[in-house]
Structure 1
Amino acid sequence: MKNSSQSYLKEVQNQIHSKEAKEIVSAELNHHIKEVKKDWIEKGLKEVDAEEKAVEQMGSPVTLGQKLNKLHRQKVDWLTVILLLITLGLGFLPLLSLENGFSNIEYFSRHKIVFVLLGGFLSIGMMLINYRKLEKLGWLFFVLGMLILMALKFFPSQYLHGVPSIEVGPLTVEILMALPFFFLAWASFFNDKRLKLWHLGILFFLSCYMLIGMPSISVTYIYIVMVFVMFCWSQFSRKTILKTIGITISSFLISSIILWQSVEQYQKHRLVVFLKPEQYPDSEGYMILLLKEKLAQAGWFGNSMANEFIPEGHTNFVFVSLTSYFGWLFAIVLVLILSLFIARIVVITRKIHHSYGKLLLIGSVALYAVQLVTNIAMTLGLLPMMSLSLPFISYGLMPILLNSFLIGIVLSVYRRKDLVTSGFMTKEVRI
């Protein structure tokens, strides 16, 4: 009878399909049996008899195992998967805008297929990974993110609009590649009660200093938004959060005024020209005026016959090229489809009680939403021009991988949302 509890646990585990659930169930039931066993010993039973009594009290291992298997069953969020497939498919439409500007359309089509497949595989891979095991690797992820930035700063292979990149065979390492590592790191940091606010401040300052030094306004911008949104749902009190945000915004405004002279000239023009593009119709204001003209001429159903070439119409200004080609009706539907990701993640977040998983979802929706909203607002003339892609639609490997990674994280959290906590497990066992 010495191993009666172990035999019981093994029989329960045999009824459970999920490997992750088996580990949780084993730990929970073992703890519960020990508690019940302790109670029987205190009532005067010997240790062997107390263990046998505790196991007997648990009921049939087969019945309990089947019940816990149903309770812990991992699920796939098929709605998010369907949305992902639809948006990845819509990502091929911008290739139509290349017809009048590029002769080698087959080259871009082949690469787009590869990008989409890699994005799909990445989402599936992240879904299969147990996100809970990533929580302890926060420092590793932060170091990896910093190493990417340091490599780009000190060992760049080329510069595109002043932004460094590194060629590694067929792969181009860009600043955007550091964001997933920082994203995972901050989710871990904000869930770690051992870290003080000043610790996080130092880490934030170091990472921002590296990003600003690249320079890449767009990546720095979405990084700051991500961190601050996650910070609002962190372990700190509401008073501390509001106070910190107020101080940070004030410091940012003061620093912006002081550091304005160090900003690249082309970046200054983007901000200045944004206010009065009509004064620069033959230079920096040309693109803003062109985008406004294309959007004004699009109509509800577009004008595919007058498919004129739009610079960066398949990347940063893909929303304009699609609106011009298919019309505003299609553009509205496209925005609604892309916005469904935000709505779905928000719904899932309300169902998650695991603090680390919730932070991952908050960070995911922040990173995704800031790209979507900023890209559309930029093309509509509501924000200054910057190099920022429309999620899943713009051509390019790194943007697709980044957003596929985020959706994979969302699917991973959803898949394990029924892996219950200790208290809830104990309650279920006693029923």
Structure 2
Amino acid sequence: MGIDKSFDAYIENVCKRIKNKDVHESIKMEISDHLLTMKEEAMNNGLSEEEAVNQALGHMGDVKVLGNQLNKAHKPEIDYKLILPVIAASCFGLFVMYYLQFHSAFTVMQEMSVFQNSAAFYVLGALLMVSLFVFDYRKLLQYSKQSYIVTMIILTVTVLFGTKVDGVPFLNLGLLHINFIEMTPFLLAISFAGIFKNWNWRDVQKRVYGWGMMSLPVILLLSTGALSSIILIIVVCSAVMIVSKASLKQVIAFAGAASVYPFLQLVLNPQYYALLDPLTIKLSEIGNGMTATPGLISEVHTDFILAYMLYSFGWVAVMAVVGLIGFLIIRLFHVTKRVNSSYEKILVAGLSAIFATQMILGLLTNLGLSSLSGVAIPFMSFGGSHIVLEMISVGLLLSVYRRRKLYNIHQSDLQVSSSR
């Protein structure tokens, strides 16, 4: 067997024992570099090339031992602290939909089949979440710019020609109407992670270009009244800027300018953006009158799901849900600190910011402290698009966590004691 083929055969035999294929390329490069270094050192000490190769292979150790060590060190990891609260919140959300359909005074929920529809979306979302956990999220990086362009084109078509549902344009695909505006913050978080991973915010031209890309979706949505989506986009962009090392002044300048119009709309026309007037209807009043006057809340299964849970199950249930989702958000920001590349950090931070903002806005609306409508409680509120999107996001986050060590294959992983 040739000299080079001896190294190649050794490396291939090691990799055959490593089940996690994501690390194969990195390990091949690391072992090859290690072998070539030892071979060069041996030849400098006077050994022939063949002797140097044999010595290098001997120092690396038995193929089975090294392969098993690396297989154990690089097993795919599942972040149970991330997935368990998602499963718990989803199960409780499905239970609430069941209760709404079969045990509430809202007869319209029976006609809408909220339980069956929710179950279908949860199942679809779970399948996509598992698929994306297996999928290598890094493959999305090369399509970041294309993803942004396609998102902006579809958003423009939706705003200009979409079918309005409760005043918000939906993408009209014939028999199917999609709330693409609700999808936009998630798609932007994924696209911006690749676009801004090495962005130079100190460069004036780059800064203006970056602000332009981030401002475009906000400008497109100004005429739609979808203030919740606008706020989510602003928060996502701010998170992306912070993680991509923009200065605090630059972040404040962008967020402040982008927030002027939405803020004025909320202050001047709160009734236009509310499903009920939070100044006159408090949670206590909702609890006392929900059964008698079901029409009091027109969107109890979406925007006001927490208010309904309070009425039906009490404060303990509401606090449990808030605690679950709060723990999930804290865990996501913890994961942000543990990942290595800027692409990973921006991706996790952007998606984490969406979940956190959704929860905060939803709480404010349900507590009567905000007139903002169209805010879904993550994994809880009825709606196919947001449930599927949230499950997809969790799948991507699990994929990031699974592969977070790919940039950290240390030399020590490859060292085997001379006794072996």
TM-score (norm 1): 0.84
Matched, 1:429 2:388: no
Matches within 5 A, 1:17-416: 17-92=19-94, 93-97=96-100, 99-103=104-108, 105=110, 107-156=113-162, 158-168=163-173, 171-174=176-179, 175-193=181-199, 196-234=206-244, 236=245, 240-252=246-258, 256=261, 268=265, 271-272=267-268, 274=270, 287-289=277-279, 291-292=281-282, 294-296=283-285, 298=287, 308-309=294-295, 310-416=297-403
% identical aligned pairs: 24
- Specify the code of the residue in structure 2 equivalent to 1:203: M
Q: For the residues of structure 2 that align with 1:191 and 1:316, how far apart are their CA atoms? A: 34
Decide whether the 8 Å contact of 1:17 with 1:69 is kept in 2.
yes
- Specify the code of the residue in structure 2 equivalent to 1:233: V
State the shift of 1:154 in Å.
3.7
Q: RMSD in angstroms over aligned alpha carbons?
A: 3.0
Matched, 1:8 2:10: yes
Change (3 A) 1:284 1:297: closer
Change (3 A) 1:285 1:122: closer
- Worse-matched range after superposition: 367-376 or 74-83: 74-83
Q: For the residues of structure 1 that align with 2:157 and 2:269, how far apart are their CA atoms? A: 33
State the shift of 1:85 in Å.
1.9
Q: For the residues of structure 1 that align with 2:400 and 2:281, how far apart are their CA atoms? A: 39
Q: For the residues of structure 2 that align with 1:289 and 1:349, how far apart are their CA atoms? A: 38
State the shift of 1:35 in Å.
3.1
Decide whether the 8 Å contact of 1:127 with 1:412 is kept in 2.
yes
Decide whether the 8 Å contact of 2:185 with 2:232 is kept in 1.
no
Change (3 A) 1:30 1:90: same
- Worse-matched range after superposition: 220-229 or 323-332: 323-332
Change (3 A) 1:288 1:8: same
- Specify the code of the residue in structure 2 equivalent to 1:115: F
Give a deviation string over 1:33-74, Cα, whole Å, max 9, x none: 233334444445554444443333222121111111111110
Decide whether the 8 Å contact of 2:183 with 2:386 is kept in 1.
no
Consecutive unaligned residues of structure 1, counting only runs of 5 or more, are: 261-267
Decide whether the 8 Å contact of 1:94 with 1:313 is kept in 2.
no
Q: For the residues of structure 2 that align with 1:29 and 1:403, how far apart are their CA atoms? A: 39
SS at match of 1:167: strand
Consecutive unaligned residues of structure 2, counting only runs of 5 or more, are: none
Change (3 A) 1:57 1:372: same
SS at match of 1:183: helix
Give a deviation string over 1:81-129, Cα, whole Å, max 9, x none: 3222211111120453453233461622221111111111121121111
TM-score (norm 2): 0.86
SS at match of 2:303: coil
Change (3 A) 1:284 1:61: closer
SS at match of 1:365: helix
Q: For the residues of structure 2 that align with 1:339 and 1:319, how far apart are their CA atoms? A: 14
- Specify the code of the residue in structure 1 equivalent to 2:213: L
Decide whether the 8 Å contact of 1:144 with 1:181 is kept in 2.
no
Q: Would you say how many aligned residue pairs link Structure 1 and Structure 2?
A: 404
- Specify the code of the residue in structure 2 equivalent to 1:367: I
